[in-house]
């Protein structure tokens, strides 16, 4: 049964608590809690009931880049630029276990639908799968040749999809641990990817300002959206599978009608780049976070609830021409410069070795010439 269109979305609640840009948001499965991570190194768990206290979890030593609730809602995973993953119990105590998951920034964490395993992605170019119990390492997927921004399990847990700065989206078989297919249609870094609720297709967002949808059975490109005027940083499917919400560095969110292949709404709620967005598991709400000076998490009112005084524009419209911001890509540029510096260092070492070998060859040649000269 098709869910109703998320008509006339309006801002219901605006949460303030983070001291820096909001990087990630995720709803618990019962929609009673919302988790958010930030560049301020903190994790916050917000309660949907008005006047409820939020929990602030401190433990990561650097920016929190990703969060995900377990299917039961009893656990919350977070990844950080400090190269670790933490598994939290989302209550007032905020207890957590920590493990060194990667050798570089952890960009993505996602629980399998059975809650038994966790997939992580990192700037170390790998995707890793762990058992949730005791965080035991299971296996690694390592065919990407640049940072891996995102990795997700399919709804049935049989497949894994990953998105990378090598401009590819890769589909993996969890059992055989082999890459089933590589999708190479994006023209720039792929920032985010997720499975359709049916598990039959995937959607990916990119710094080329586009969103693409592929069928995972035929690997055919089904839809291509070029609606934003800057990088698309995140996306989320409505549980019905009929709608997709996107977040962009052009500071807008857009709701797409996948059945008709068209733009439904453009939402202007952020003052800076919109970095993250997620539908609730019921589809009643979605939350977004951004690089605003005062980070916010927005909740559109579901149909029939009336409008709040603080509303956002929701008329279908053409993409607005806005100056592209470099804020969301500065960290990436710095990282790429580090990679270039390392590469130049390696080349210099190889050049020195080559020069040494050439010098040795010339000396040997001179010795041979001296011996052969009467």
Per-residue pLDDT of the chain (374 residues; tens, 9 = 90+): 333 445 566 666 777 888 899 999 999 998 889 999 999 999 999 988 877 788 999 999 999 999 999 999 999 999 999 999 999 998 888 889 999 999 999 999 999 999 999 999 999 999 999 999 888 999 999 999 999 999 999 999 999 999 999 999 999 999 999 999 999 999 999 999 999 999 999 999 999 999 999 999 999 999 999 999 999 999 999 999 999 999 999 999 999 999 999 999 999 988 899 999 999 999 988 999 998 745 454 555 344 333 332 223 333 333 333 334 444 455 566 556 656 656 655 666 666 677 777 777 877 887 887 777 66
Give the pair of three-digit tokens for residue 55: 């929990």
CA distances from 169 to 60, 141, 159, 359 (A): 29, 13, 13, 46
What whole-number distance in Å separates Cα of residue 225 and Cα of residue 211? 5
CA distances from 260 to 11, 35, 173, 244, 246 (A): 25, 32, 31, 12, 16
Residue bearing tokens 């001296």:
370
What whole-number distance in Å separates Cα of residue 242 and Cα of residue 239? 8
Let me know if 130 is exposed, middle or buried by CB neighbors in 10 A (0-12, 13-18, 19+).
Answer: buried
Q: What Rg do the C-alpha atoms of the chain give, in angstroms?
A: 23
Q: Which pLDDT belongs to residue 370? A: 77
CA angle (98 as vertex; 22, 80 as ends), nearest 5: 30
Q: Which pLDDT belongs to residue 12? A: 66
Q: Which pLDDT belongs to residue 177? A: 97
Give the pair of three-digit tokens for residue 294: 């005062």
Q: Which pLDDT belongs to residue 312? A: 31
CA distances from 139 to 101, 127, 324, 343, 367 (A): 12, 9, 39, 28, 55
Q: Which pLDDT belongs to residue 94? A: 83
Record the pTM. Answer: 0.77
């Amino acid at each position: 049964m098709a869910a109703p269109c998320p008509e006339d979305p309006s801002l219901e609640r605006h949460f303030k608590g983070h001291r820096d840009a909001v990087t990630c948001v995720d709803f618990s499965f019962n929609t009673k809690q919302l988790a958010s991570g930030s560049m301020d190194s903190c994790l916050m768990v917000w309660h949907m009931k008005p006047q409820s206290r939020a929990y602030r979890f401190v433990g990561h030593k650097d920016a929190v880049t990703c969060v995900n609730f377990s299917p039961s809602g009893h656990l919350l995973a977070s990844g950080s630029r400090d190269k670790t993953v933490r598994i939290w119990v989302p209550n007032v105590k905020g207890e957590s276990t920590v493990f060194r998951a990667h050798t570089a920034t952890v960009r993505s964490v996602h629980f399998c639908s059975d809650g038994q395993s966790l997939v992580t992605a990192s700037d170390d170019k790998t995707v890793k799968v762990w058992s949730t119990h005791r965080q035991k390492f299971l296996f690694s997927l390592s065919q990407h040749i640049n940072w891996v921004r995102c990795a997700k399990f399919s709804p049935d847990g049989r497949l894994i999809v990953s998105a990378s700065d090598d401009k590819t989206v890769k589909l993996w078989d969890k059992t055989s641990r082999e890459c089933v297919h590589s999708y190479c249609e994006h023209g720039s870094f792929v920032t985010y990817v997720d499975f359709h609720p049916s598990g039959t297709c995937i959607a990916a967002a990119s710094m080329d300002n586009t969103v693409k949808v592929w069928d995972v059975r035929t690997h055919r490109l089904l839809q291509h959206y070029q609606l934003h005027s800057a990088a698309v940083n995140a996306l989320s499917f409505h549980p019905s599978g009929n709608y997709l919400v996107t977040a962009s560095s052009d500071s807008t969110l857009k709701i797409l009608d996948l059945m008709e292949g068209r733009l439904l709404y453009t939402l202007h709620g952020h003052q800076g780049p919109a970095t993250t967005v997620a539908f609730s598991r019921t589809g009643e709400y979605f939350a977004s976070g951004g690089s605003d000076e005062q980070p916010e998490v927005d909740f559109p009112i579901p149909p029939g609830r009336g409008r709040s005084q603080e509303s956002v524009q929701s008329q279908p419209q053409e993409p607005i021409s806005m100056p592209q911001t470099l804020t969301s890509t500065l960290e990436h540029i710095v990282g790429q410069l580090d990679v270039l510096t390392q590469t130049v260092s390696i080349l210099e070492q190889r050049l020195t070795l080559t020069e040494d070998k050439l010098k040795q060859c010339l000396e040997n040649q001179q010795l041979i010439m001296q011996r052969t000269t009467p």
